[in-house]
Structure 1
């Protein structure tokens, strides 16, 4: 959807925008100056709508979405996934090479299993919750006798059938919380996806290189492009507004967290940039098409802040103080001043 104005309107908008210039305008408003302070990037974001602090919020997306949840809960907002998760002892240990695994302390529930990296996997999860879409064995895959893999979860180790089904029930119950939401916060993670050829599920994560090698006919790699990703997001938004709150509002962002690894024949840095560019373009189109969809620039805030303070040492995960800065920007934009003090 194109944006088009007559010259007078375009000039009026430009002149009324204090942050329009890269090297022009007031020094503190110039992009050149804001990008070279050595601190976190300050962005002036004008939201399409305000968020009432009493509105229940549903979040879905990559691991960055979990960081967003933590900050919002600390600030007193109603996160519907609070208290949902999977026992920490069911998680893999963190694997630096694959970028998988991790969890909470043993004995606690972790929301990490709820991470959703590709839009197509988000679509499957929401169709289960809202349309009752079902699969044999709840979509679980028995990779070896008594070793079950949930392709729609994140970071879980192989489990016996009883525990795998129990976790699938926990994750389904968490996703079903979207019916109570008034606003959805979607964090788009990546376009590279793995398919289970037997069930047709676009998996949230593959079972690991060794299993891919053992079962090459069952698992297929797909890198979804702009058209398919936009169609999936439109389907998701329509599905939610039909089956949940009819005036649901959406805040969409792109996760600044990069790939753990790419399956394309490209430098991982280049492949990651291509994937994020598709997702950013999709988010922009949704912003242009719908007055109830807003784009929040967490991606730009993180990527244009000094990397030394924006990322943890692994250069993969976002530093906690960086996340806090992003969410302060979010709070200042979406909550009125009196509402901010109530939510603090």
Structure 2
């Protein structure tokens, strides 16, 4: 959907925009100066709508979404996934090379298993809870005798069937919380996706290089492009507004967390840029089409802040102070104006 104005309107909009210029305008407002402060980037975000503090919020997306959740909880907002998760001892140990694993302290519940990286895997998980779509063995895959892999979870190790099914029920119940939501915050992660060729389902994660090599005919790699990703997101929005709150509003962003590794014959930096560009274009199209969808620029805030501040030492995960800065912008944009209006 294109944006089009007559010349007079375009000039009026430009002149009324204090952050329009890269090298022109007030020194503290031009992009050149904001990009070279040596600190976190400040972005002037104009939201389409405000969030009522009482609105239940549902979040879905990559590991960046978990950081967003922690800030929302700390600021007293009603996060529907709070208290949901999988026991930390069921997670793999973090592996830097594969970018897999993680979890919380032993004995605690971790929301890390809820990470959703591709849009297609998000769609399957939502169909499970909103349209009662069912899968053989709940979608679990037995890779070795009584060693079950959940392709719709993230970071879990192989478990016996009973434990794997119990975790699957926990994760399904967590996703079902979307039915109580008034607003959804979606963080789009990547386009590279793995399919289970026996069921046709898009997996959230693959089972690891060892099992990919042992079962090459079962698992297939797909890098979804713009048309397929947009189609998936359109079906997700329609499905949610039909089966959840009919006036559900959405805030969509792109995760600044890069690919841990690419399966394409390309430099991972180039592959990551291609993947994020597709997702950013899809988010922009949704923003243009629907008044109930807003785009929040966490991706731009992080990627245009100094990497030494924005990322942890692995240059993969986002630093806590960076997440706090992003969410400070979020709170000022979507909450503060509404609070000020109510106070008045």
Taking structure 1 as the reference length, the TM-score comes to 0.98
User: How many Å separate the matches in 2 of 1:81 and 1:151?
Assistant: 20
**What SS is found at the alignment partner of 2:103?**
coil
Matched with 2:209 is: 209
- Structure 1 partner of 2:285: 285
What is the DSSP-based 3-state SS (H/G/I as helix, E as strand, rest coil) of the residue aligned with 2:28?
A: helix
What are the Cα deviations for residues 23-81 of structure 1, in whole angstroms up to 9, with x where unaligned? 00000000000000000000000000000010000000000000000001000000000
d(CA) in 2 for partners of 1:47, 1:245: 21
C-alpha displacement at 1:301, in angstroms? 0.1
State how far apart, in whole Å, the 2-side matches of 1:286 and 1:265 are. 30
Instruction: Check the 8 A contact 1:331/1:340 in 2, yes or no.
Output: no
2:117 maps to 117
Counterparts of 1:270-309 in structure 2, within 5 Å, are 270-309=270-309
Give the match for residue 177 of structure 1.
177
Question: 2:171 aligns to what SS in structure 1?
Answer: helix
Q: Secondary structure at the match of 1:142?
A: strand
Instruction: Give SS of 1:187's match.
Output: strand
- Residues 165-190 of structure 1 show CA distances to partners (whole Å, capped at 9, x for unaligned) of 00000000000000000000000000
Change (3 A) 1:326 1:252: same
Per-residue CA distance 1:123-157 (angstroms, 9 max, x = gap): 00000010000011000000000100000000000
Alignment of 1:246 onto 2:246: yes
What aligned pairs does 1:94-105 form with structure 2 within 5 A after superposition? 94-105=94-105
Q: Shift in Å at residue 339 of structure 1?
A: 2.9
Asked if 1:135 is matched to 2:158, the reply is no
CA RMSD, 1 decimal: 1.1
Q: Distance in 2 between matches of 1:68 and 1:338?
A: 20
Cα distance in structure 1, aligned partners of 2:100 and 2:129: 25
**5+ unaligned residues in a row in structure 2: which ranges?**
none
CA distance in 1, matches of 2:336, 2:167: 39
What aligned pairs does 1:54-203 form with structure 2 within 5 A after superposition? 54-203=54-203
Report the equivalent of 1:267. Answer: 267
Report how many aligned residue pairs link the two structures.
342
Distance 2:194 2:340 in 1: 41
Residue equivalent to 1:36: 36
- Confirm or deny: 8 A CA contact 2:90 2:156 kept in the other structure: yes
Post-superposition shift, 1:199? 1.1
Deviation at 1:200, TM superposition (A): 1.1
Rounded Cα–Cα distance in structure 2 between residues aligned with 1:152 and 1:320: 26
What is the SS of the residue equivalent to 1:335? helix
Give yes or no for contact 1:332–1:340 (8 Å, CA) kept in 2.
Answer: no
